[in-house]
Each structure stands twice: as C-alpha cells, then as structure tokens.
Structure 1
C-alpha cells in the first residue's frame, strides 16, 4: 500500500470528523500523535519492529488519535485492531462514545465489538442439563439443591437463550446471577469445543463474530491470557493484529499475574480423591473403548494422591522444626528463589506425576469425544467430558506451578518469587515470575503486526527506562518513544508544600493531619484528600467527624455512589470532601467545579510487603543495585503524577494541590520527584 494513499485517507477522515463535531478545536499534540503512530505503522522507523510507546498527557485525546491512525492502516493491510484497556470505564468510553463517534467518518468503513473471556459466557448444554433437572452438570459436579427462585431464573435464562433474547453472557442479563450457580454454567476451555458439539454455545458464537469485525475492544487480562496460551485461542492471531494498549503502564503487572501459579496441597488431594472414586463410572460410560485411558489415569492418580499428602506432612514437620519461618500471614518466602532440598525433590516427583495424569486425562477426553460423535446429545458422555475437562484445568495449573518452582535460571537472570502460605487447614505453594519482559517479547512484541502503547504516565523521573525494563524493551531495539505534554494551563494552578514540623514516618503525624487538613479545607467547595492507607484515612476521618466535618469516605459506600453524592453536593452549592486511598488516585474523573482542592497526605512510597515485592527488592540488592532508588522512587514518581492528575481534567480547570509531605524539600530524591510533575506554580 503506498504511504500516500494512507496519509490521504487519514487527512480526509480527520476533516470529516472535525466538521461533524460542534465547536471542534484542533489539538496540536493530538495531530502529532496521529502522525507518529502513522510513521511507525508505515515502517518509517523500523519495518521489522513497529512498536511505539507514547506518553500523552491528559487532555490530548489519545483514544481518537489512535483510532484515526490505526484503523485505516489495519483495514488497508487486512489486519485487525485490538484495543486493550486496564479499566472498565475506558472500555465503556471506547465502545459507547469514541468508536461510534469516529465510525461514520472513517474510510475504509469498519465494524467493532467488545470481547469477553470464556467465563463470562454460559455453556448452552450445561444450562439445558440444569433446566431439565438432571441434578448435575458433569458426572462428578453435583449441584446443590436449587431454590425455587434459582430454578425460575435458570428457566428464564434458557428461554431467553433459545428465543434469541439473550446472548448468553453474564453481563447482559439484567438481574444478578449467583456466583455458585454461574460456576456451574460457564464455558470451560477443554470441554466446550465446537468439534464436541458445542458450536452453538454463546462463547463460540461470540468468538465467530470476532472474525467478522475489524476492531475488537478487550481488557489487558483477557489479552494477556490469550497471548499466554499462544494467541489465536480467543482473539485473532498476533501476526494479524495491530495492538493498541491503552493504560499500558499496567501491562507488566498483569503479565506477572498471568504467569503466576499456585497449588493448595490438601485441596488438590481431596479433589483428586473424589475424582478417583468416580473413575469406575467413567469406565462404564466408555465401556471397552476407553479401557487404556482409564487405566493410565488410575495409575497416575494412585501415585499422585499419596505424594500430595506426604508433601503436606513434610512441610508441616519442617515448620515445627523451625526450618520454615512464616510471617504473620503464614507466608514463608524462599530467599533468592532457592528451594529447600526437601521441596525441590518432592516437586520434581509431583511434576512427573502431574504430567502422567495430564496424559491420561487427555486420552480420556479423546475417547469421550469419539463416544460423543457416535452418540450425539448423550448427556452422560457430555457430563463426563465436563468433569474430565475440570480435572485437566487443575492438572495444567499444578504442572505450571511445579515448572515455575523448579525453573533454573542463569547467573544474570532474575529468579521467580517462590513462597508457601501455611493456613489453618492447608498449605499453598506459590510462584510468580519477576521479570516478564522475555514473556512479552515471546508472546507479543516479536509477533504482532504492530504495537501502539499509550498512557499518561509511562515515564518515572522524566525517563522511560523504568517502564522499558519492566516490559522487556530496549532503547536500541527499534521501538520508538514519544512524550507529549498536556495542553492544560498548569501554571494557572498551584502546588503548595507547607513547612510541616513532622515527616509521615514520624510519631504524631496522624494527629498533625487532623490539625492540618481542616486548614486546607476551609472555604473550599470541592475537595479530594488522598491517603496512603485505609488505617490512616479512617483514623483521621473519625477525628474530623468528631469536630463536626461532613465527609464522604471510601469504603463506607460504593465508589459510584460516593461520587454521585459528591457531585450532587457540588451542584447544590454545598461543600463536599472526598476521602480516598490509592485507588482514588487513578481513573477518577471530576472535572470543573467537582474538584478544585486536592490534598495529598503522603508521597506514594510502596513498602515491599508482598512476597513478590520483597523478592524483587532482594534481587536488585543481590545484583549490586539500590531497590529504593531503582524501584521505590520511580514507582512513587509515577503514582504521584497520577494523583496530581486528578485536579485538571479539562482545559478550563483550575485549582490547587496541597502536598503534606515535606520530604519533597528535605530529601535528595525530592527535586527529581518535583521536576517530574507538570509545571504547576509552586509555593513552598
């Protein structure tokens, strides 16, 4: 495709779009972002690696920029655009506002849809079995007695599905569906396959629609789950996709979650014992055709069940001997990722035994699939398939845990975080990869037709290095980096750092906040106060309410209900004060008169308390680095920028930020954190 044709289309689409929006104002930064995305897609920088990381400040209009640049290029090159977001709010904005706004003014024309994971869809056959009162979904998944209300809801679901009034996804049903009931209904990876008679299940019908549309909106978790399975399972193949990752600063964290694994020893053993009791019923369903598969599965179970029990006993004994030292949460982390010999030996055996079980289950599933072809609609066979499918999922998860726990790493490689949690009645083995860059490279960067990553907060301390390291990119690998400032008038708003007598870590700081916060709330109509912890927030809220202050406190009502109350008070001319923690520092949109006074009580330094954070800090130290300067300060910089970003949401917004942490002025890292913030007028 000649680049001139593409540019002509983008310009023509822009003209049509601008003429259709009343009061449209051109944004120089938005146009620049469109142009840079276009250059990357056209291969002007690197034809073999079309990757752009673009930090675009609030108010630039990132979503309309990437829609204008990516959709025409993808349509002309026979590719799909997959837009992935971190939050439901942005998904809804794209599907309900931005895409419908752009669609009538785009050539080539495009269609779009929202994609959801398997667990959001019901399985048609499982729903039918429940409605017909078979008493169970799978052979070994006895359903608790249904209440009349649940039975009535199941009937309504089935009728709506059959009559085409319901697409079979949980989100589109007006009434809530009980979690336990939905667990019995939703689609599963192994058993719900088109070749097994599930072609008319809602998930597969929705998946078929993805092949017909040009733009697919997903969330990061679904995207990375699909990529981790090799891609092309739920979403199209990476090679045929232009990925637009909005809110992409979350990608490394979510990739880490996708790569994590855990195994609860006693729960796994109980599950397998129950399954083992029912294997003779399986043999009866299959008759002679499945004899070898049944024998292989039984042999694997006879080895694996005692092994799980023995390892549990050994770990309990090791704790009694003082060889494992759990913290208050019962967590024992293995320093530098090194396993005790006892655990290493046992996990090696468990890994082999789970492989044997997985092979046996796979043969069982094949035999059941063949039986279902010969007896279409046989509920006993399809029920058996659902049960075997569940065991396959468990076996895959356990095998993944064993492999991650035993994974050997080279001298310069980062080992996974490995730990166990000893609860009252069970012991759970856990592992999480710390470095996920190589996974993202393998899953996505090296395969995708193009990747466009956008966020308002990529840089930490005015540099992309922190983000680059977290996602496995390099400055010299062909990836492009762009930073565009917000068009907002930051100097018209103030950043105030009062000369307080105490720092946040000192005794008496809570009491100091009780004195200081009212001073900065006085005569203000719309305030948001951000805290570093629920404990501190609730303690200060209790004290201020004792003084007669009216507060809206996170956790005392749902997020949306609190925000609606806040807006109502602001619209009615009443002063309103919101108290929130870190989750209110990102994604909260209170434009204009809904927020003019932002108070941040403490710099957002995260204390490494989770096993993953502790392991990351430990590995940096062992490698000769400084965890505080390499992890804590850059992450605090990013979070502080996000928190300050709550104040200005439109070009006409004005207000002030009061930062009650004097460390910005007294510590050596303070100037770097301050200089990374937008250019507010500073008062110290």
Structure 2
C-alpha cells in the first residue's frame, strides 16, 4: 500500500518541481497520472501484479509523471527504476534534459545512467595489443584481419586517449565516426572479453556494468531490455523482480518483440562461412597441439560436413522447384513445410545442434587453458574471439532450422523463404512468432517487480483491447488502465472532410489528389501532407510541379534534417512551406506553433498485410473464424490515424486545420468508430 512516507515524498518532489519553474502549469491530468502510477507501484490494486497501462496525450507530461511516482517508490522498495524507450531521441531527452533537471530540482539523491549493449564498447586488451603491435600484428589481429597503417594510427590515438582517461572506450563518445572495419578489430565480444579472465576485468564494458550497480535509474531501449529478458533476466540489467519498469513509447513494444523473436539464415551464404569455419578449426589444431582440443574439433568438422551436405540438398531442392519458389518471397501456409523440405529441415536441426555443442565446448576449453596460463594471452584472445564468432553464427543457424521444424499447439509460427538480394541462386529461410503475448507474459509481466506501460497512443477505436491483446494483458484483471486526454483545447483545430468524388481505393484518386491539393495549401502558411506510399507521393508531387509554381519539400529528395531546416527558414521568412511525407513523418515529428498549421492526411492509414508475418497472422485469424480486417487492420489504422492527427497540436496555444481526404470514415461501417476515436476537434464535414 502507498505509505504516508511515500505520499509525503511524492508531494515534496512535486512541490519542489513546481517551485523551481515560474511558469509551471498545474495539470489535473498529470496529477491523476502520478497518483495512479504511484498506487500501482505500491501494490494498492494488486500486490502480486503491479501493472498499469496509461495513455496520456501530448502535453500531459508523462516523463515527469513517471519520474515523480517512480523514483521515490523504487527507492523505498529498494528496486531499480528501468526506463525503456523505442527511440534514441527520447533516450537523449531523458539523459541530457529530463533526469538532470529532475535531480537538481526534486530534492532527491539518485544516480542514473544510459545502458548500452556490449557492441558499443571496445575491448581494452584488443585495443592495447593492436596499438602496441609491430611485427606481431598478424598474431594479434582479430579474425585474421590485418590492420592497415592508417587504421593503426587511429587505433593508437584511441589507445592514447583511453589510457589518459580522456575516452571511456565506447564508440558513441569518440568525437568522429570510427569506421566499422576498425571498430570490429577492437570491439568487445562475449567470449574473449569475459570478466572471468583477469586481464579483461577492467575492460570498458565491464567497468560500465559495474557502474550500473550504483545506479538507481537506468535508461535502455526496448531491444536491450528484450535481450536481457531473453537471456533469463539479470544478465545485463538487474533481475526483473528487482526492477520497476517504465515502458515508454509502449506502442512499439509488440513489433520490436516480434522482430527480436525472428531468425533467418541463407543456404549458400551458410555454406560459405561453414567452409571458412572448417579451415579455421583445422588451423586451430595445428596452433594448439592438444588432445583435449582435437576431439571436439574432429566432431565439429564431421558435423560441419554433414550440415554442408544437407544445405547442398536444400539448394538442389529449391533449384528443382524454381517455378514454385519463383517469387521473391514464399510463405509456407499454416507454418507447414513440404514433406521433402521438412525432412531436410529436421536433419539440419539435428546437425546444427551438434555443431553448437562442439563449438561451445572448444570455447570452454580455450577459456580454461587461458585461465591456467597454458596459452599466451594474445594468442588466446584471438582464438577465443574467432571461435566465439563462429559459435554465434552456428547458434543462429540452429535457431532458424529449429523454428522451421517446430510445431505449436496454438498460434503457428510464420515460416517463409525468400531470394537473396546478393545472389539470385541463394535462398534465405526465416521464421518468426506471429503473436508475442505469451512471450511477454512469460519473460516480463509474470517476473517483474512492477511495470508502467505508457504512450500518447495506446488505444484503438476508443479502447485498450487491441493493445492489451498484443502484449498479453487482455484477460489480466489486475492490470490497471488509464486514459487521459491531452490538456490542449482540441476545438482550436478543425477537422475538415471535403466531399470528394473518389475514394482512395478507386481508380483516378492519385490524379484527383494532384488537382485538389493546391487549393488546400494556403499561401504563407506551413503545411504537412501525409501519403500512404512513396509512389503516390511522388506521382502527386510531379503533377503539382507540372501544373503550379508551388515549391515542395518532398521526403527523401534531401535529408530529413535539411528539409526541416528549410521548412523552418521558410516559415520564419513568412513564405509558403509545404512538406510531403509518408508514414515515418506521422509519428515523432514535432512542428509546434507556426511550423505547422495545415495538416492534410490523404487516406486512412490502412496497412496491407504484405510481410510473411502479417500474412500468417491474417491466415491464422481467418482460420480461427475471425476477421483480420476488423481485428487487425482497423485497430492499427485507428492508432495510426490518431498519431497522424497528433502532428498538428504540439503546444497548448497551437491551432490549425486537419484535412482528411478519405470519406470512408463517413461511408463505411467501420468509419464512425475511426472518426469517434479521434480527439474532439471542431468538425467540418461536407455532404
């Protein structure tokens, strides 16, 4: 229960923040958000399942709310507050602005840090060895890559700065971009740069991890959070039961979890690196004359040979059935492989499992020999890194074929094959979960100390059902739900739906857009026009440029930064400025005040299920007696339409017009639900 001590701590923090800002606006919606989050974290509703889904519109002050509620309660409960985001922009805002301000003004003492993956850090030992190498360079170079002279010059500068304490050893803090080929020579890897080796205990990655133990608040991205949970939790971050999680930008979580749960591998590509791996393993037995190593290497070489034979059979099968698999992507209906391919897949699963086991055994033997000083450190580092590299590859290969043979009782996996972009005679096999609801329940919701899921857009069609189903909380009665509208005066924006002759799904709509849009683009105003596809956007842009003198800033014709700067310059100069963009500009684009007063949405943002995962999901829903259009397409469109409309009002005094050029919100049976899920804009609908 929320104790009097906690209540006082939250009130004191709020008062301190309020007193520090002369223009602080008391927002009832923010106060409600703080209160409900605090009661959830304290276990007022359910002490065993402390979960809340909170949608709070733009301007509510979500980040300040979860800091006010989260930090005092996490501190009292001796938990770590882990804030997970989907975008780098929000991470930077929290690290460089929100948290420093909050710590200065709240009166609370706490430490915070951004958590980054291992691949963002160098290995101190690799860096030192390369920087100090001369005639031993071939021995020290990772994966037989011999650095060039100019590469060594940069490596020596990196080492000098690191040794002097002027660089922390992470790729992000170096003032210029470090080329990827150089970074791969010194990057930390989980096999050779292990804390179990005394020489590596002070490597940048391990020092960063030790520093996390002193932190009360950690900032991560969703992918890193999932990586930790996939490993069982408590590997990168504290254990889930020791964390209070804030999942900000939570509407991205289902997609990122699904992407994280997929695997893919090519046929000929795998044959190529397996042959290189075999050569490397033979060289290993020559470099280390040890019976302890020779036995697993012999077994591994046998397994590699068997895998290559199976891959050759798979390649032959695909080539022989080229007409059947002639499309760029071919999905296996209901997740069922043809019998001939299923047999080969089972063999691949068996042999790759053996390969993983023997490769892991070799890594363990090398690590033990290093610990026992049976191998020189430089030699051991190179060998462990190299074998570890192949271990990750063969683990991925096994994961793909293991997923391809897997049969599930409930929702099937999406399984497909596609032609390689680099080689037309090569094929990439892939598999993915369709739904991640049970995965999130198993890894996160049932394990965590508490969780807050928040975003400006979590509802679809006016309720949380679609999102709750996606994240596995649809039938969880203990989860709290809170929907708070933005504090903005939505009547300051007009929603205009003109009476057009054609709907977006009718022939001639693109040409109609080219004719109609110029009259909807006011002079000396800032406009943003959102399209459903690049193709249609470019076609309309061409029509307008050929028939008018309007200057357009069309997405991808120059960089986003350049276009937004040009747009801002136009507005400042009191010129007409028109941005053309697609769905990527419908979320996260912040154009407050005069930077946007006229927003045009050309069509309801329906997404056609074109990816194998989306197709498999639609197939499964249909087979289960459902309607994928109403169960997925319409809720997704509702969410995206709300996000698109949200580009207009960014500050409390903003105003303008939203024009929707899709009358299906009036004419179709699903239309009113889409329309009524939007904020209460002043409506102007032509009939």
TM-score, normalised by the number of residues in structure 1: 0.96
CA distance in 2, matches of 1:639, 1:653: 21
1:31-76 residue CA offsets vs partner (Å, 9 max, x unmatched): 1000000110111111100000001111100000000001111111
Corresponding residue number in structure 2 for 1:317: 320
Matched, 1:387 2:386: yes
Q: By how many angstroms is 1:432 displaced?
A: 0.7
Q: Deviations over 1:416-461 (max 9, x none)?
A: 1100012313111100100111111111101110010001111100
Deviation at 1:377, TM superposition (A): 5.3
Structure 1 residues 70-469: aligned runs within 5 Å: 70-106=70-106, 108-131=108-131, 132=133, 134-135=136-137, 141-143=143-145, 146=148, 148-196=149-197, 197-288=199-290, 289-319=292-322, 322=323, 324-327=324-327, 330-375=328-373, 378-410=377-409, 413-423=410-420, 424-469=424-469
Closer, same or farther: CA 398–551 of 1 in aligned 2, 3 Å:
same
Shift of 1:403: 2.0
CA 1:145 to 1:186, structure 2 compared with 1: closer, same or farther past 3 Å? closer
How large is the Cα RMSD of the aligned pairs?
1.7
1:15 aligns with 2:15: yes
CA contact (8 A) 1:276 1:301 kept: yes
Which residue number corresponds to residue 587 of structure 1? 588
Q: Structure 1 residues 140, 126: CA separation in 2 closer, same or farther (over 3 Å shift)?
A: closer
Superposed counterparts of 1:582-621, under 5 Å: 582-621=583-622
**Structure 1 residue matching 2:321: 3-state secondary structure:** helix
Provide closer, same or farther for how the CA distance between residues 615 and 2 of structure 1 changes in structure 2, counting only shifts above 3 A. closer
Which region of structure 1 is more displaced relative to structure 2, 155-164 or 378-387? 155-164
Alignment of 1:625-640 (within 5 A): 625-640=626-641
Cα offsets for 1:271-300 (capped at 9, x unmatched): 111111122321233322423332232232
1:442/1:476 CA distance change after superposition, 3 Å? closer
In structure 2, the residue corresponding to 1:513 is in which secondary structure? helix
Equivalents in 2 of 1:621, 1:540: separation in Å?
A: 36
Partners of 2:360 and 2:225 lie apart in 1 by 26
Q: Indicate if the aligned counterparts of 1:419 and 1:611 stay in contact, CA closer than 8 A.
A: yes
Q: Aligned with 2:563: secondary structure? A: helix
Shift of residue 270 of structure 1? 1.1
Tell me by how many angstroms 1:372 deviates. Answer: 1.3
Q: Distance in 2 between matches of 1:297 and 1:139?
A: 24
Q: Can you list the C-alpha shifts for 1:617-649, whole angstroms capped at 9, x where unaligned? A: 111111111111111000000000000000000
Contact 1:286 1:367 in 2 (8 A): no
**Residue in 1 that maps onto 2:69:** 69
1:530–1:579: 8 Å Cα contact kept in structure 2?
yes
- Equivalent residue number for residue 574 of structure 1: 575
Per the TM alignment, residue 140 of structure 1 is displaced from its structure 2 partner at its CA by: 7.5
- Report the equivalent of 1:669: 670
Q: Cα distance, 1:576 vs. partner?
A: 1.1
Quote how far apart the aligned CAs of 1:211 are: 1.2
Instruction: Name the residue aligned to 1:504.
Output: 504
8 Å CA contact retained: 2:2, 2:43: no
CA drift at 1:555: 0.7
C-alpha distance in 2 between matches for 1:257 and 1:23: 43
**Shift of residue 594, structure 1, vs aligned partner:** 0.7
Deviation at residue 126 of structure 1 after TM alignment = 2.7
Which whole-Å CA distance do the structure 1 matches of 2:83 and 2:116 have between them? Answer: 13
- Return the offset for 1:2: 6.6
1:54 and 2:51 are equivalent in the alignment? no
**Contact between 1:601 and 1:661, CA under 8 Å: does it hold in 2?**
yes
Deviations 1:100-137 (CA, angstroms, capped at 9, x unpaired): 11112335411111111112112223333443255558
Q: Is the 8 A contact 1:139 1:384 kept in 2?
A: no
For residues 312 and 162 of structure 1, what CA distance do their matches in structure 2 show? 51
**Cα distance in 2 between the residues matched to 1:2 and 1:495:** 43
Contact 1:530–1:581 (Cα < 8 Å) also in 2? yes
For these two proteins, the number of residue pairs brought into alignment is 676
Report the secondary structure of 1:155's partner residue.
helix
Give SS of 2:68's match.
Answer: helix
- The secondary structure found in structure 1 opposite 2:481 is strand
| CA deviation after TM superposition for structure 1 residue 160, in Å | 1.4
Q: Which moved more, 1:49-58 or 1:514-523?
A: 514-523
Q: Matched residues in 2 for 1:644 and 1:336: separation?
A: 37
- Conserved 8 A contact 1:140-1:278: no
Question: Measured at CA, do residues 22 and 622 of structure 1 come closer, stay the same or move farther in structure 2, by a change above 3 Å?
Answer: same
Work out whether residues 528 and 599 of structure 1, in 8 Å CA contact, stay in contact via their aligned partners in 2. yes
Secondary structure in 2 aligned to 1:184? helix
Q: CA-to-partner distance for each residue in 1:296-339, whole Å, 9 max, x for gaps?
A: 322322322222222222222233xx4x3342xx1110011111
The residue matched to 2:473 in structure 1 has which SS? coil
8 Å contact from structure 1 (residues 647, 657) kept in 2: yes
Q: Is this contact kept in 2: 1:138–1:385, CA < 8 A?
A: no
Q: Deviations over 1:314-367 (max 9, x none)?
A: 222233xx4x3342xx11100111111122111111111111111111111111
The ranges of structure 1 where at least 4 consecutive aligned residues each deviate by more than 4 angstroms after the TM superposition are 133-140
Deviation at 1:531, TM superposition (A): 0.7
**Is the Cα–Cα contact under 8 Å of residues 349 and 401 in structure 2 kept in the other structure?**
yes
